[in-house]
Amino acid sequence: MPAEFPVERSETAFTDYKLPLSPAHAAAEAGRCLFCHDAPCVRACPTHIDIPQFIRKIANGNDRGAAKTILESNILGMSCARVCPVEVLCVGACVYNDLEEPPIQIGKLQRHATDRAIDEGWRFFQAGTPTGRRVALVGAGPASLAAAHELRRLGHACTIFDRRGFLGGLNTTGIAPHKMKADRSVTEAAWVLQIGGVDLRTGVDIGRDVALADLEHEFDAVFVGIGLGADSRAGVPGQDLPGVLGAVEWIERMKLGDAGLAGVRRAVVVGAGNTAIDAVRELRALDVSHVTMLYRGTEDAMGGYAHEWRAAKVAGVRAVWRAVATAFEGTSQLERLQCVCVDESRTPIAGSQFTLEADLALLAIGQSRLGSTLAGLSGITVESGIVRVDAHGFTGRPGWYAGGDCANGGKEVVNAVAEGMTAARAIDRELAAGGGTGRMGARRG
């Protein structure tokens, strides 16, 4: 763990929501699989892991072979086993659902094999023959880690830049701790990079400490995987009061240090996406007695996953639908939210004002998008803060690729991994064809 991570972090109070399988249970569950030839679970996985193959290996007692099958397709298979919304991906596609039988616990089986791989230090991959080409990767989250690993297998030297002092990106700072804790993410990142040949430059803010254009003078290609930015603000009076925070900001604080909940009995989370649901579940688990989710739409229209919201309701979270905050109030600290109900067009309804008492309000209404960082480079198109790329992650500027949240607007970890690996192969093809940023040739504007 990095030195700046305190041992006693608020997230350490959490236990796994989905407990791991014992070896006997894993073998029994694997034995239930029908090993479908045209497996819908494989099609549902963005990294297209050969799920029947790895499950068959577990059933035959070959956990090592199962882990290799998983990691060939998804080098961050350990974290994805924990954080993927399998209920709407592989498990949701399992044919047992059509038979009205419990689907195969694919995520737990994947965790069973990949946990052993990480914990026992199994090594499956080695760097390819050096090509003499160098690739910069901006950001140290899942997309860049996946891209760097694939590029090293193809023989290219890699340098990862990140403004933080540790690896993992949102896996480290933003994943709900009942799914995965920060130290587990850092451990996985170290395991991925044991392939060697990856230079780490942490504490470097690209665009401030190093100009993006300057990367072309040092590297043959650049992959940008910078994720999303700061929490969006509410734009109403009182939003800067102590006690009003961005949800992503608060989750990071809770994961890497102290959640700052002393004296907090009543909390309101504004929004109803997956970040909002994570936050309300975490607040309840950390003994905040009254937790409310405030959303301008209906329960059916919420952005968060239904299975996650069901778990939140079981934990005692309540929701107020079709309502918005119009002001945050308090003398020197947040004390209440002034709210109003809205209709289907989200227009305030006259006479519907009400008050929610709160010691803490978390805003989970979106994040800023960092794609505009690249807006100054010719050939790269940025729309609404999102970097536009083709199916291979190519930005339109020779040698420049992007993936993860900065290019997809905010999807799952598994999508970031898939995009990073796809871009790495495209970079390899471009470099093999003699393309790239042309660092040894003329500079472009």
Domain boundaries, the chain: 13-119, 134-229+368-432, 233-365
Calculate what percentage of the chain has a pLDDT beyond 90.
90
pLDDT in tens, 423-439: 999 999 999 999 988 76
Let me know if domain 13-119 sits in CATH 1.10.1060.10: yes
* Euclidean distance between CA atoms 297 and 324, whole angstroms: 9
* Euclidean distance between CA atoms 175 and 179, whole angstroms: 7
pLDDT in tens, 227-280: 888 899 999 999 999 999 999 999 999 999 999 999 999 999 999 999 999 999
Mean pLDDT score of the chain = 94
How far, in Å, are 75, 105, 265, 314, 349 from residue 320 at the CA level? 40, 33, 18, 16, 15
How far, in Å, are 166, 240, 380 from residue 243 at the CA level? 28, 8, 39
Within 13 Å and on the Cβ side, how many CA atoms surround 181? 18
pLDDT in tens, 145-188: 999 999 999 999 999 999 999 999 999 999 999 999 999 999 99
State the maximum Cα–Cα separation within the chain, in Å, rounded to a whole number.
Answer: 71
What pLDDT was estimated at residue 208? 87
Provide the 10 A C-beta neighbour count for residue 432: 12
Q: Do domains 134-229+368-432 and 233-365 have the same CATH topology?
A: yes
Let me know if domain 233-365 sits in CATH 3.50.50.60: yes
Residue 230's SS3 state is strand
Q: Does residue 3 have a pLDDT over 70?
A: no
Our separate counts of H helices and E strands in the chain read: 16, 17
pLDDT level of residue 5 (50, 70, 90 thresholds): confident
What pLDDT was estimated at residue 445? 39
Average pLDDT, integer, range 209-229: 91
Return the CATH number of 134-229+368-432, one of 3.50.50.60, 3.30.420.40, 1.10.10.350, 3.40.50.2300.
3.50.50.60
In the sheet with 221-224, reading across from the earlier edge strand, the strands are 198-202, 157-162, 134-138, 221-224, 400-402
Average pLDDT, integer, range 119-143: 97
What pLDDT was estimated at residue 4? 64
Q: Does residue 335 have a pLDDT over 80?
A: yes
Average pLDDT, integer, range 335-339: 98
